Structure 1
């Protein structure tokens, strides 16, 4: 179902994620106003850079707060006009957002990830019922959105999908280096590794449409022959602690998100 984009959205902080969201919004035809005191010109074509937070508040229907966690409270307190404030800061609680924003505002806590620029983002959010439709409109066309009904799980979202692209890219590089070590050129290895990762995910997603209970390990077994190459490769992964290391990465990133929330 097509959703009409907002006419104007403000973004405070045009770093990597703020710029990614701005880029995706501009693609949808949304007017985007940006504020970032560290920039003299917008890093994203189509974004109008303004000099004050008041200008952001005056022109925007929704305001995305994309600054470092330790700056969120001070930024919100600079606004005088109530609005819908969407924070993407890790660890900053919903209650902190609500207490810091102007009276009468709506607050939203969101954890997006960078693939949203390519319309393949994984976004989870926590908010009041009244603004669910606004959040869905804001991120429509950027990927998958999931509403989290228990705020404490937002830290796990941060550890999994928020930080997840870095884990995947690390795995990608390791695969490419493995091919390089065995004699392939780096470009050959990287190309094969990228297509292998993407192709496998597309294939598994297609299978899940037919059987929503299908487990990844079941499909893995299809390509794991007795005494074959794959089982030897999997054995090396497990001896190296691969699965445990990935789970630990999610756990540690989750813990860090909680630590950031404590200031």
Structure 2
């Protein structure tokens, strides 16, 4: 079945993530109206900025709420008629969305990440059955969109894929600095590091399309020769606590998402 994008979508907030979603929607042919009191002109071509929430309500029936978590419920309480409300705020629960929106509304809690602007996002969402088709339609073509079975796991999505790009970029910078330290120019080192990370993921994804049972450690072993350079590098990573640090990062970000939900 061919994808039919929404004709109009209302955005509340055009920050980094809200702006990324708006830009992706515009490329699909959706007319995006946005309300952001911090802006006087739209920073995104094809997005029409309106001056009030009332004006936004007149233009769309589906709204993406892309404001900081502490503003989500106050903003939702301003809406006067039922609609479809998609919140991308960390920690704000589905019940908080439902109790803050007009009766008869459809609510969705979603955690996207920034690569969606390049159609490579990783998005987890939670909602009742009536919200599934709206969510899949809204984020169509922006990347992997996965319905999460239990809402309690949405905080894990936030800690893993929501915050994940920052972890990957930190790893990328560390690799680039290591090459610089060993004598490569920064551009040479960064270019090699970027292609290594992206190429490895593309290669592993291709392997997984043929065999879902392929494990990352199995493939790692293919490039780890006895007494070779890779095993010495891996040993240094583990002595530095690399795997534990990554797990701790996801765990701490998950805990913070839970804390945000408690206000």
2:121 alignment counterpart = 121
* Uncovered stretches (5+) of structure 1, i.e. residues with no partner: none
Residues of 2 paired with 1:249 and 1:193: CA distance? Answer: 22
State the Cα distance separating 1:173 from its structure 2 match: 0.2
- Give yes or no for contact 1:11–1:34 (8 Å, CA) kept in 2: yes
2:21 alignment counterpart = 21
- Give yes or no for contact 1:124–1:147 (8 Å, CA) kept in 2: yes
Please report the TM-score for the alignment, with normalisation by the length of structure 2. 0.99
Residues of 2 paired with 1:175 and 1:2: CA distance? Answer: 42
2:128 matched to 1:133? no
- Give yes or no for contact 1:7–1:61 (8 Å, CA) kept in 2: no
Tell me which stretches of 4 or more aligned residues in structure 1 moved more than 4 Å. none
1:157 alignment counterpart = 157
Please report the TM-score for the alignment, with normalisation by the length of structure 1. 0.99
2:93 alignment counterpart = 93
2:180 alignment counterpart = 180
Residues of 2 paired with 1:213 and 1:52: CA distance? Answer: 52
Question: What SS is found at the alignment partner of 2:58?
Answer: helix
2:106 alignment counterpart = 106
2:201 alignment counterpart = 201
The root-mean-square deviation of aligned C-alpha atoms, in Å, is 0.6
State the Cα distance separating 1:94 from its structure 2 match: 0.3
* Uncovered stretches (5+) of structure 2, i.e. residues with no partner: none
2:248 alignment counterpart = 248
Q: Output one character per residue of 1:133-169: Cα deviation in whole Å (capped at 9) or x when no partner.
A: 1100000000000001200000000000000000000
Residues of 1 paired with 2:79 and 2:153: CA distance? Answer: 28
Q: Output one character per residue of 1:72-116: Cα deviation in whole Å (capped at 9) or x when no partner.
A: 010000110110000000000000000001111111000000000
Structure-to-structure mapping, 1:28-107, within 5 angstroms: 28-107=28-107
State the Cα distance separating 1:71 from its structure 2 match: 0.3
How many residues matched?
263
State the Cα distance separating 1:61 from its structure 2 match: 2.6
State the Cα distance separating 1:2 from its structure 2 match: 3.1
2:225 matched to 1:225? yes
